[in-house]
Copies of this chain bind each other. A is one copy, B any other.
Amino acid sequence: MAHPQTVFAGTEFHGKSMLSVRRNTIAKTTLRTQLRQLKSTGRYDCFKLKPHPVYSVPYVWPCPPHLFWDSDCGKWIEAACYFLRDEYDEELDKAIREIVDMIRSAQCEDGYLNLHHQMVAPDKRWTNLRDMHELYNAGHLIEAALAHRDYYKNDLLLEPMLKYVTLIRKTFGRDEGQIHGYPGHPEIELALFRLYAATGHQDAYDLGRYFLEERGNPTGQDGKHYYVWEAEQRGEDPWKRPDPHPEYHSFWYSQAHKPILEQESVEGHSVRCMYLLTAVADMVYLEGQRTEKGLNLPILDSVAWSTALERLWNNMVDKKMSLTGGIGAIKQWEGFGIDYFLPQGTDEGGCYNETCASIAVMMLAERLLQANLDNPDRRYADVIELSLYNNIMTAMDLEGNTFTYDNQLASSAKTPSARSDWFEVSCCPPNLARLFGSLGGYIWDHGFSAGNTTAFINVHMYTTATLRFSPSADSSSPITLSQTSNYPWDPTISFTLSPPSTPVTLRLRLPAWSQNKYTLSPSPSSPSETALTPGGYLLLSPSYLAANPTFTLQLGGFAPRYIAPHPYTNQHTLSLARGPIIYCAEDVDNPWEDNHFKDVAIPLGEPVAEARRVYEKTGEEYVELETKCWRRGAVAEGRVQGGDPGLAAREVVLGEERRLVLVPYYFRANRKGRGMMRVGLLRG
């Protein structure tokens, strides 16, 4: 039950790869920056349950500003616990201990634990699952408790959370007298499955499965949709609703418009949707692991759930995902628009691409990869890598102090490319920290193939790191696999497997953009020593590895390439990518630009020059690209204002030719500039 949040500890990052540099920045700077924010805003000691002015400020219903404080603390604890395993840090350790003490003392006698309800609305427990985030907050605290236990080897946080889970299990379920509801913001489901996997706590599994199976039931409570019934119980006017619900009964906002198995497309709030589907994937995975006494609920129709997952995944990646891995075109509900509605910026009607949503995409994709480790499917690993290096990495500056919440592909006058110190709803910064803390869990998987005779390692991502695991519980000599590379800048990765005698099968991901081209050195001595798996991995057999415990893989397709969005997006643009890195143009490098690159065209196929650069403030290397561009000719030359909604169609006029410098999208908004940036340039 290899959740990345557990197995990451088997991976050691070393050397100066981009991933380890970023991890070090978070360990040394970001966690402290965030801790200062927790303290200065009142989050840090909120579980003292003392009055705070924020509890009475006017707010946008139903979201008081402190509604997610429990989860902010939870995510930070989780992140800090992950990083403490790399290196002890007294300040972080002390803070974790203090927060955990406060949480323990805050818990109600019956196990209930929720800041908002305890401080502001003690009589309103469980009366607004649709909006009030009690279960969401509980989920993040459960995840924190698991990370805490793994690091501290004690149950100081897990104990209250188990007590809370017991209360929730009693409260919700199919039985009479129980609430037939489920959280408006899914999260607890994936936490519950992780809790089950880590502790075998059967209540956790049952509850997670209940929430998934009940969700969207049109007649779940007294013959009504739960959110309809619940609103009636509150005496709520049917026309009262939070701003993200654009219309009466827009339950698709919370993926509750119909049962999950019947959902045809990803809808609504993108983070909610991804957390939900991550839990579904984990449930299917757990079913695959079921032993006779393993799980106490009826057998799951895994095929139906897997079919739904595949359908929703495909809908998302093919029709609702930006080139950078970002999802969620619509700001109002922080989520998905209709198929192929993927504008680049707010001046085109959308592009939200929340940082947390891409983190959640990684979590989902990892679970889907996990489902078939004998034949891993590179589609999932490709999307993990794309999301990580682009929509996620762009969300923090290189010095680790400032963040973005939404990540447009293009800036505009109203939405310049810029960063903030913190957010009132501050889910993204600590989410980023906990992802990087557990990043080792996304790099590779290991296990034993059928019959347990041969170990296997599937390498999903390339960096510089060492994986260490024991082939069996009593084995004294662990297997180690080291990879060394300057990825994502160079396509060559050196591997060393030891001890060389161990029979191991290796599968190395060939990214889709490599077009399955690679060079393996030394070459295999016979064709049967290597194979391309159906899922897109290069399989190295034990015999190859026995002969060549040290070898290098050079990925093909690494030259800069032009990519384009699906034509149905009406984005007639070209973007440049190199390996997993998506590029953008920024005004800092192109000081002549004055309109957010809205009229800048690049020609398909024009040679692209590469240059190695170093960002002086952090010493970090990156590759800059340079190509030819034009400004679009006068857009509406000779047009009379207010005279004609159409333009006489003419051949496209391209203005003066210029050189255009592009930098990685994650690198945007690090240097001073005028906030102008664009990923997709006109197809010239």
Contact surface of A with B, Cβ cutoff 8 Å: 60-61, 237-243, 246-248, 310, 313-314, 316-318, 321-323, 325, 332, 337-341, 343, 347-349, 378-379, 382-383, 386, 512-513, 561-568, 570-572, 574-575, 577, 598, 604-605, 632, 635-636, 639-651, 683
**Whole-angstrom CA separation of A60 from B239 in the bound complex:** 9
B643 in contact with A382 (CB, 8 Å): yes
Q: How far is the CA of A683 from the CA of B683 in the complex (A)?
A: 13
Q: Which of A338, A347, A643 has the most CB of B within 10 A?
A: A643
* B248 A60 Cβ-Cβ under 8 A: yes
15 inter-chain pairs at a CB distance below 8 angstroms, sorted by A residue, are: A61-B239, A314-B641, A314-B642, A341-B348, A379-B643, A382-B644, A386-B645, A561-B648, A562-B648, A563-B646, A563-B649, A565-B647, A567-B635, A570-B571, A649-B683
Task: Choose from B239, B313, B604, B645 the contact partner of A651 (Cβ within 8 Å).
Answer: B604
**Closest B residue to A380 using CB positions:** B642
Enumerate chain B residues within 8 angstroms of A640, measured Cβ to Cβ.
379, 512
| Known contacts A248-B243, A332-B246, A570 near B348 by CB under 8 Å | yes
- Interchain CA distance A566-B647 in the complex, whole Å: 6
Give the shortest distance, in Å, between A650 (CB) and chain B (any CB). 8
Q: A562-B649, A568-B635, A570-B348 are in contact. Are A642 and B239 (CB under 8 A)?
A: no
A247 proximity list for chain B (CB < 8 A): 243, 332
Q: Contacts A314-B642, A644-B512 known; A649 to B604 CB distance under 8 Å?
A: yes
A648 to B683, CA, bound (A): 13
Q: Is the CB of B564 within 8 A of A647?
A: yes
Identify whether the interface residues of A are mostly helix, strand, loop, or mixed: loop
C-alpha gap A461/B399 in the complex (Å): 66
Contact A649 B323 (CB under 8 A): no
Q: How far is the CA of A602 from the CA of B243 in the complex (A)?
A: 43
Give this chain's copy count: 2
- Return A183 CB to nearest CB of chain B, in Å: 21
Beyond the given pairs A237-B237, A240-B240, 14 more chain A to chain B contacts, judged by CB atoms under 8 angstroms and listed by A's residue number, are A61-B238, A239-B241, A317-B643, A337-B349, A341-B348, A386-B645, A512-B644, A563-B646, A563-B648, A565-B646, A565-B647, A567-B632, A577-B646, A604-B650
Q: What 6 A-B pairs are tightest by C-beta distance, nearest first?
A: A321-B645, A562-B649, A314-B642, A563-B646, A564-B649, A379-B643
A628 to chain B, nearest CB (A): 15
Report if A240-B237 is in contact (Cβ < 8 Å); known contacts: A570-B570, A646-B323.
yes
- Decide: B248 and A645 in contact? CB cutoff 8 A: no
- The answer on a CB contact under 8 Å between A646 and B237 is no
CB contacts (< 8 Å) of A248 on chain B: these are: 60-61, 243
Residues of B within 8 A of A310 (CB): 642
Least CB distance, A306 to chain B, in whole angstroms? 13
Within the assembled complex, what's the spacing in Å between the Cα atoms of A348 and B563?
21
With a cutoff of 8 Å between Cβ atoms, the chain B residues found around residue A645 in the complex are 317-318, 321-323, 325, 383, 386, 565
Decide: A642 and B332 in contact? CB cutoff 8 A.
Answer: no
- In Å, the complex CA distance between A243 and B382 comes to 40
Closest CB-CB distance, A437 to chain B, in whole Å?
A: 27
Chain B: which residue is nearest A414 at the CB level? B338
Neighbouring B residues of A386 by C-beta, 8 Å: 645
- Closest-by-CB residue of B relative to A241 is B239
Give the distance to chain B from A664, nearest Cβ to Cβ, in Å: 15
Cβ–Cβ < 8 Å partners of A561 in chain B: 648-649
Cα distance A343–B340 in the bound complex, in angstroms = 12
Which of B347, B383, B564, B644 sits near A317, CB closer than 8 Å? B644
A582 to chain B minimum Cβ distance, whole angstroms, is: 8
Cβ contact of A242, chosen from B239, B325, B340, B575, cutoff 8 A: B239
- Contacting residues, chain B, for A316 (C-beta < 8 A): 642
Residues in chain B near residue A568, CB distance under 8 A: 598, 635
Q: Taking each of A337, A382, A567, A650, which has the highest tally of chain B beta carbons within 10 Å of its own beta carbon?
A: A567
A2: min CB distance to chain B, Å: 23
Given contacts A318-B642, A382-B644, contact A338 B332 (CB under 8 A): no
